[in-house]
Amino acid sequence: METEDFFRDSRRELEEYVRDRLLLAKMQVADKSSRLVAMLFTVGLLAMFGLFILLFLSIMAGYYFADLTGSLYAGFGIVAAAYILLVIILLVTRRRYEQRITDMVIKVFFDKTADETDENNRN
């Protein structure tokens, strides 16, 4: 009888432990996913504002160069040439930026939180 109680209690405790571990894993995934989404939202918002600023500065520069050259085509052509040059530079150096973005996403998912550090120290 005592053996049956031991195994029944052990099974119940093991089931509770597995349930708690699954809940902890779900909570950690939710935490890290929410941090990633918040970071992406912030970066997206900053990128949108940056693009608006860049758009208006580009229009301003186009008219400035048009005033200097006396031709709207030449003024906006200079701005377009600058953007083409920028795109070429970004295409040549894109591996460096792709690696930084990948590293940042991996860091968010595999960064140890305070709870994980405490748990590892106990073991």
Give the model confidence (pLDDT) of 62-114 as tens digits.
999 999 999 999 999 999 999 999 999 999 988 888 888 888 878 877 776 65
pLDDT score recorded for residue 123? 53
Average pLDDT of 40-63? 95
Contacts of 28 (CB under 8 A, 6+ apart): 113, 116
Computed over every residue of the chain, the mean pLDDT equals: 87
Task: To the nearest 10°, report the CA torsion of 91, 92, 98, 103.
Answer: -160
pLDDT score recorded for residue 36? 84
Rounded distance between C-alpha atoms, residue 38 and residue 100, angstroms: 18
Confidence (pTM): 0.62
pLDDT score recorded for residue 67? 95
